[in-house]
């Protein structure tokens, strides 16, 4: 069986064949004359990047489950070790673990508040940097504010400044059409 790839008007970087071979036939080898376009090879660096991205996302999505498993395993090891020393050792280990759990539960709200406060401070800092970038852009453009974030990307320096740390979404820009003459004007705000 011989298959011919269609000729296209533009070069493509991805071609895939799905071949369904009848049970009575046997697929022995592939051969052909399709060549990879220059600069589109899938090398070790690309594979490493895909590997890191896949496992980074996997860990990020399951970090709670992983921490729970590690803590559960440590508790199990401690209980088994204490059981070898007898009933008194097991009771003492369980009491220590209960005290640690109570202390950790008392710390969680404080840590949550600290994280929330740090995110608010980071958001305010990003908004301040956006305000400075808007002012710089307006100085070069007859005191008119930029129409959007993309227009002042050189002044911002990084697109990360336009992201709200609390929500992970982009700040809403409302400075279009406004002038620097009104310093009280709202320029950007959090989507939340």
Please write the tens of the pLDDT for every residue from 107-131: 888 888 888 888 889 989 988 888 8
**Whole-prediction pTM:** 0.48
Residue 39 pLDDT > 60: no
pLDDT digits (tens, 9 = 90+) for 76-87: 887 787 777 777
| Confidence band, pLDDT 50/70/90 cuts, at residue 41 | low
Question: Does residue 22 sit within a domain?
Answer: no
Question: Does residue 27 sit within a domain?
Answer: no
Question: Does residue 126 sit within a domain?
Answer: yes
Number of domains in the chain: 1
pLDDT digits (tens, 9 = 90+) for 51-75: 898 888 888 888 888 888 888 888 8
How high does pLDDT run on average in the chain? 80
Question: Does residue 28 sit within a domain?
Answer: no
Question: Does residue 173 sit within a domain?
Answer: yes
Print the domain residue range for 80. Answer: 44-189
Q: For residue 31, what pLDDT is reported?
A: 65
Q: Which is more confidently placed, 31 or 9? A: 9
Question: Does residue 67 sit within a domain?
Answer: yes
Q: For residue 107, what pLDDT is reported?
A: 87
Burial class for 44, CB neighbours closer than 10 Å (0-12, 13-18, 19+): exposed
Question: Does residue 94 sit within a domain?
Answer: yes
Q: CA 161 to CA 129: how far, in whole Å?
A: 7
Question: Does residue 5 sit within a domain?
Answer: no
């Amino acid at each position: 069986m011989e298959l011919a790839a269609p000729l296209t008007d533009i070069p493509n970087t991805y071609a895939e064949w799905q071949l369904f071979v009848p049970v009575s036939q046997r697929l022995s080898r592939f051969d052909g004359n399709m060549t990879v376009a220059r600069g589109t090879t899938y090398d070790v660096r690309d594979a490493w990047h895909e590997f890191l991205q896949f496992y980074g996302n996997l860990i990020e999505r399951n970090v709670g489950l992983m921490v729970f498993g590690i803590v559960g395993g440590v508790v199990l090891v401690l209980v088994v070790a204490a059981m070898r020393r007898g009933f008194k050792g097991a009771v003492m280990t369980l009491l220590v673990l209960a005290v640690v759990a109570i202390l950790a539960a008392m710390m969680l709200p404080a840590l949550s508040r600290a994280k929330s406060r740090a995110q608010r401070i980071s958001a305010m800092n990003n908004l301040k940097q956006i305000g400075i970038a808007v002012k710089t852009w307006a100085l070069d453009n007859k005191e008119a504010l930029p129409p959007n974030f993309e227009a002042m990307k050189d002044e911002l320096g990084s697109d990360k400044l336009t992201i709200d740390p609390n929500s992970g979404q982009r700040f809403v820009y409302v400075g279009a059409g406004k002038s620097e003459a009104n310093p009280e004007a709202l320029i950007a705000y959090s989507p939340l």
